[in-house]
Amino acid sequence: MKISKLLAAMFCFAAIATSCETPFEDPQQGDGQAKKISLFSTMTNFTRATDTAFEEGDQIGLHIVIPQGTYLNNAHFTYTEGALVGEKDYYWYMDEGTESDVYAYYPYSATGNYRAGGYTFTVSADQNRAGGYTASDLMIAHTTSKPTAEAVELPFKHALSKVVVNIDNQLEEEIENVWFSEVYGTTTVSFKSGETTVSGTKGTIKTARAANGDPTWALILVPQENVTPKLIITTVSKKQYTYQLSGEVSFSAGKVSSASITISDDSIYTDFTPVISDWVADDELQFGQSGSTDIEGDGGDGGNTGSSDGFYFHPGVWASDGAWFSAHAWNESTSEDVTLTDNDGDGVYEIPLSAGMTKILFCRMDPAVSSFSWETGVWNQTEDYEIGVYPNNHFFIDAYGPDGAKTTGHWGPADGGNAGGNTGGGNTDGGNTGSASGLGVVGGFAASNWGTDIPLMTTEVAGLTVAKNITFNAGEGFKIRTVGSWDGVNIGAGSINFVEANKYFAVIGENAGDLCVVTAGTYDIYFNQSAMRVYLMTAGTPYTEAVEQTTNGTELEPEQPDSTENVIYFSVGNAAAGSRYAAYFWNSTSNVWASMTDSDGDNIYEVNIPVGYGENVIFCSMSGVANSWNNKVNQTNDLIIPTDGKNLYTLSGSWTNGSWSVK
């Protein structure tokens, strides 16, 4: 009898209960009589996210549960040349009279173990990214079987829900992104019953665009009830349109919700109502960048097969000064140097590794050199690392080491946390563990002045980062970005831009406004990038005490700063006029807004230069009550305040042209 150490304890318990008359074999061994486990999949009357069947390299997890307990737990199978092939040979137990439950799921995860409480799964927050949409399409299968030499059929079905939005774009410019906001992204699914239970809090998900030019956007959602999501549509010129769901809706497993939207220049805020139907074949829709149907990070044999799009690099603090990035990879017999590329411009770089590489280091390169060389051009390099295994196939730069030392980093899933997320326990207030995430908080508050980033540090809660003790004046704004650069991550306000203390709110990652603090104070800012959610907590208050903010906070009446007697004037000339005007002043360390008035009704607006701000100004037309960039409608270029007596700036046909003169 061959029983592995892993199963020995289970079978000792079974022996007490049943006298162990028929011992079971180790599923990873055969003795010449045991039957090898063989599988095939079916998907009847429905599609996958991108196709009607599994594709080469797709991976599933398999569980076999017998009356005494779990016989096979999370065995790893890969779809290879039309068949599901295990990473090793697995064998049935020898008792041919005992029937077992066979469970399978897709996509495979190293944390997808069989457990009574179910399997926790989170959809991708960026489903327009290659692989993000397909890897969100959780499917499960259940059947019963006795040991057999025949292939066991796995009847897969969708565990989640699908949303399709058809957009009639009547604008004169293209739509860049579509976001689905105020929805849940995490669920726990029971392998046994197929039932799902939503968990976590609501956030924002970027939808996937049809790759064939079809004006259709789609996303995979976890089943959820009685939610009122918003659609946020952004154009290539950074205009933003918000569409509110008309009433509550529920999204069910195996169902597709369809909605049609017309967007035009006068679209500001309107309703949409989805039509819900069965998730049936829709082969003509191929979602994902460039029609990609690859699972993000799929590696065939567990991650290290050298898939050209299977590994990713997040530069973090390295993303500055025009640097580019390379990697040196090797194994026992060979090595290679590769250039990292950001094909879709999202600040995440692809690592094109050849098959068989096992170790890697990364280099930050001088833009003055065009090819890799150890002799010239290497600004920084990391320590040596083992190459990550899916889902930990993203490498993150953490922080520069001490002078002369190598940079540190870590492998993790796409959201930067530990694979599988937070499973409970740990420090529930998100206590700072001291590791830089590569992201930071930047804003108009004194410690930053839109130039200095306050680093977001990792916490003991997977995927959660925090920047503590930041002091804000009322109305000052902030955003989250890659430290030192606007070219990487750039996250800010979606539908909510005036934020309140001890609240959490959904944010978006492109074309976003500033997050303006309503009440002055000192705050800890928590950020969950996977859920696209920010928490603004009074310093020292655990983020778990936050409640959701779903509408804008109250805008404060603008206060005039302490002013000098020097006055400057502004006229829109023959450019587009606005309803209200304000001036934005700044110096090397701080900035301030000041409202403008037309005291004599001549359509020329005046403002006293604030104390300490006599160098630079931007004139803006404003909406709303508060003076903030979120309320800016039009603006001039950055202007230098003249010192030669010229004090009137007049626009010449547009907001980007004008000249100074004497009033």
**Fold annotation for 563-661:** Immunoglobulin-like (2.60.40)
Cβ contacts of 286 within 8 Å, gap of 6 or more: 50, 210, 211, 212, 293
**Which helix (H) or strand (E) is 9 found in, with range?**
helix 5-18
Question: Per-residue confidence at 281, pLDDT binned at 50, 70, 90?
Answer: very low
The pLDDT of 603-612, averaged and rounded, is: 93
Query: Is the model's pLDDT at 642 over the cut of 90?
Result: yes
Could you tell me which of 445, 460, 551 has the C-alpha nearest to residue 506? 551
Cβ contacts of 644 within 8 Å, gap of 6 or more: none
Break the chain into its structural domains and give their ranges: 5-118+130-158, 161-291, 312-412, 432-548, 563-661
Strand bridging mode 454-459 / 464-472: antiparallel
The CATH code for residues 432-548 is 2.60.40.3620
pLDDT score of 268: 42
Rounded Cα distance between 380 and 650, Å, is: 48
Cβ contacts of 49 within 8 Å, gap of 6 or more: 133, 134, 136, 137, 162, 220, 287, 288
Is residue 544 a contact partner of residue 489, using CB atoms and an 8 Å limit?
no
pLDDT score of 355: 67
What is the CATH architecture of 161-291? Sandwich (2.60)
The pLDDT of 387-410, averaged and rounded, is: 75
Rounded Cα distance between 119 and 60, Å, is: 14
pTM for this predicted structure:
0.45
Query: Is the model's pLDDT at 1 over the cut of 70?
Result: no
Query: Is the model's pLDDT at 49 over the cut of 90?
Result: no
Query: Is the model's pLDDT at 580 over the cut of 70?
Result: yes
Query: Is the model's pLDDT at 392 over the cut of 80?
Result: no
Higher pLDDT, 560 or 619: 619
The CATH code for residues 5-118+130-158 is 2.60.40.2620
Query: Is the model's pLDDT at 102 over the cut of 90?
Result: yes
Q: Which residue carries 């995440």 as its tokens?
A: 348
pLDDT score of 432: 39
Question: Per-residue confidence at 275, pLDDT binned at 50, 70, 90?
Answer: low
Q: What are phi and psi of 499, to 5 degrees?
A: -105, 150
Q: Which two tokens stand for residue 25?
A: 């074999």
The pLDDT of 374-400, averaged and rounded, is: 82
**Fold annotation for 312-412:** Immunoglobulin-like (2.60.40)
